[in-house]
Amino acid sequence: MTLYRKYRPQTISELDLESVREELTRLVSVASIPHAILFTGPKGTGKTSAARILAKIVNCENLQKNHEPCNLCSQCLSITAGNNLDVIELDAASNRGIDDIRAIREEVVLAPSLAKKKIYIIDEVHMLTTEAANALLKTLEEPPDHVIFILATTDPQKLPATIISRLRVINFTQGSTSEILRELSRVVDKEKIKVDQESLTLIAKSAGGSFRDAVKILEGFVDEHNNIDHEKVVNSLLQTSLYSIDQHISLFKARDSKQLLSEIEKIISNGGSIKIYTNFIIQALREMLLGQEFEKDEKTFSLTKAELISLIELFLAASAEIAISPIPQLPIEIAVIKWCSQKSTSQENKIKTSEDKIDTENTSTTKEDALAPQTSSAVSLSISGDGQLDNTLWFRILSEVRAKHSGTEALLRAAAPKSFDGQRLCVGVYYRFHKEQLEVLEHKRLIEDVAAQVLGVPIKIFYELTERDKMPTKTNTPIDKPLTHAKDEDIIQAAKEIFGN
């Protein structure tokens, strides 16, 4: 028997989540327990264990004064063993059809064989078909007095609101490190396993909030002498022999795609886990972000706040795709290339800016060439004293967008920048139609990408409906007429691009 099954909680006090212990204690302290209860939360957080404990409390022949089951009577022992005739456990993933629920509806009218109450524990209840869920709803509305339903799910959003409204809901959250350590310590003490606290903490952090996974990880490190080797834990969970987190963060700062991709390939070829690698990179980036926010980050290679947010978002999206990707490391490799390509684009803009400056000094240039910023940092010119985007940069954004998609640029000419804080650009739009079109993902992504190239930093753009005469005005633009006054042919072109000829 695995350690998790062997040391599955048998009383409320042994449950791992403090919030659940408190909620169930209040629940069983009242005169009558609700006839239908829903346990929601991630896998491995104790939902099924709690359901069995509640079944024992309801049917225990020698219930303790603190409302805990005795775990010695015939009812408690049979429920623990899983062979109690009146406690029926169903997996909705396998029994999800209307015929399965109809069978339950026919059985619930029968009185319990030996127990006080007949308990139905239905796991992953969100997997029921629509017809089956509707059939269950009728049973939940008018259940016999001798029946209690305990439903469990990892995805409550998929349950019909009509069903949830008839249930007492208890939320199970991911376990904190301290709560998982409590469970691991209980197993270690009873098994007399020799392990240091640092290893236990590392195992707890690697379990992803799951108590079951934590105990499984622990069991995997126990050797024939009932010891756990610290170095083995570190090498396996942190994979320190395969890579250095600090070194990789430095490579992200340098945006060295070739070296990063080479390092990722080395991890995979040496049997490392791309999921573990991704988790620790995200954790390191999070610590740096919070460190900057609370002014506690002392790492000399730390990225800017905007860079950290952008990189975390890339890795979070990639992490979610690892499980469904035919090549597990591919989403991470794409994220790395996307991140590093941002610098390449920025450098190209800076090179172009330098070339434009030389051309301006030595030869006659067009007005657009003269608009290129005369500094290596685009962001330093992007914010004026009153928090507005410099019009010269806005004109460059329009020009670059036009080169890629004239219809998008035509829409953008019915707008103007309102405010810019270095990361978020608020754009005022004069017409509702133009605002709605600019918010279409295709247009929005194109404009954000171009703005990031021109300004040299990741940019998020937000649109607001604004009256033309209420827009902030600037007089330092070398453009003869307002940038946002669209010509008729521009609007016609925009219509053709959007609706077709």
| pLDDT tens per residue, range 78-126 | 999 989 999 999 888 787 788 888 888 888 888 998 899 999 999 999 8
Q: What is the amino acid identity at position 217?
A: I
Strands 168-171 and 415-420: unpaired
Query: What's residue 304's pLDDT?
Result: 86
> Can you say whether residue 232 is alpha, beta or left, with left for phi > 0 and alpha for psi between -120 and 50 degrees?
alpha
CATH code of 89's domain:
3.40.50.300
Q: Is residue 370 part of a domain?
A: no
Task: Read off the DSSP letter of residue 389.
Answer: B
- Spell out the long-range contacts of 443-448 with Cβ–Cβ below 8 A and sequence spacing 24 or more: 443/405, 443/408, 443/411, 446/401, 446/404, 446/405, 446/408, 447/397, 447/401, 447/408, 447/412
pLDDT of 302 over the 80 cut: no
Helix and strand numbers (H, E) in the chain are 23, 8
Range of the structural domain that residue 196 is part of: 177-236
Q: Which two tokens stand for residue 129?
A: 């078909």
Strands 36-40 and 168-171: parallel
Q: Is residue 138 part of a domain?
A: yes
Q: Are residues 70 and 143 in the same domain?
A: yes
Q: Which two tokens stand for residue 43?
A: 């896998």
Q: Are residues 136 and 219 in the same domain?
A: no
pLDDT (tens digit, 9 = 90+) per residue, 395-420?
888 888 888 887 888 888 888 888 88
Q: Are residues 181 and 164 in the same domain?
A: no
pLDDT of 73 over the 90 cut: yes
For the chain, the residue count is 501
Query: What's residue 490's pLDDT?
Result: 52
The H-assigned helical ranges of 270-329 are 274-293, 305-322
Q: Is residue 359 part of a domain?
A: no
pLDDT of 238 over the 80 cut: no
Among the ranges 17-21, 130-134, 493-497, which has the highest mean pLDDT value?
17-21
Ranking 333-337, 376-380, 411-415, 458-462 by mean pLDDT, the lowest is 376-380
Q: Where is the domain boundary, 194, 215, 236?
A: 236
Q: Are residues 20 and 163 in the same domain?
A: yes
Q: Are residues 162 and 185 in the same domain?
A: no
pLDDT (tens digit, 9 = 90+) per residue, 351-379?
555 555 545 555 444 444 434 433 333 44
Mean pLDDT of 441-449: 85
Query: What's residue 427's pLDDT?
Result: 87
Structure confidence at residue 441 as a pLDDT band (50, 70, 90)? confident
For residues 304 and 460, give the distance between their C-alpha atoms in angstroms, rounded to a whole number.
16
- Interior CA angle at 118 toward 117 and 124, to 5°? 130
CATH code of 186's domain:
1.10.8.60
CATH code of 494's domain:
3.30.300.180
Q: How many Å is the maximal CA-CA distance in the chain? A: 99
Query: What's residue 300's pLDDT?
Result: 47
Q: How many domains does the chain have?
A: 4
Share of the chain above pLDDT 90, in %: 23
For residues 209 and 421, give the distance between their C-alpha atoms in angstroms, rounded to a whole number.
36
- For residue 468, give every residue at least 6 positions away whose Cβ sits within 8 Å of its Cβ, in sequence order, or none: 430, 484
Query: What's residue 60's pLDDT?
Result: 94
Task: Read off the DSSP letter of residue 110.
Answer: S
Q: Are residues 310 and 411 in the same domain?
A: no
- For residue 297, give every residue at least 6 positions away whose Cβ sits within 8 Å of its Cβ, in sequence order, or none: 288, 291
pLDDT of 20 over the 90 cut: yes
Q: Are residues 395 and 458 in the same domain?
A: yes
Q: What is the amino acid identity at position 430?
A: Y
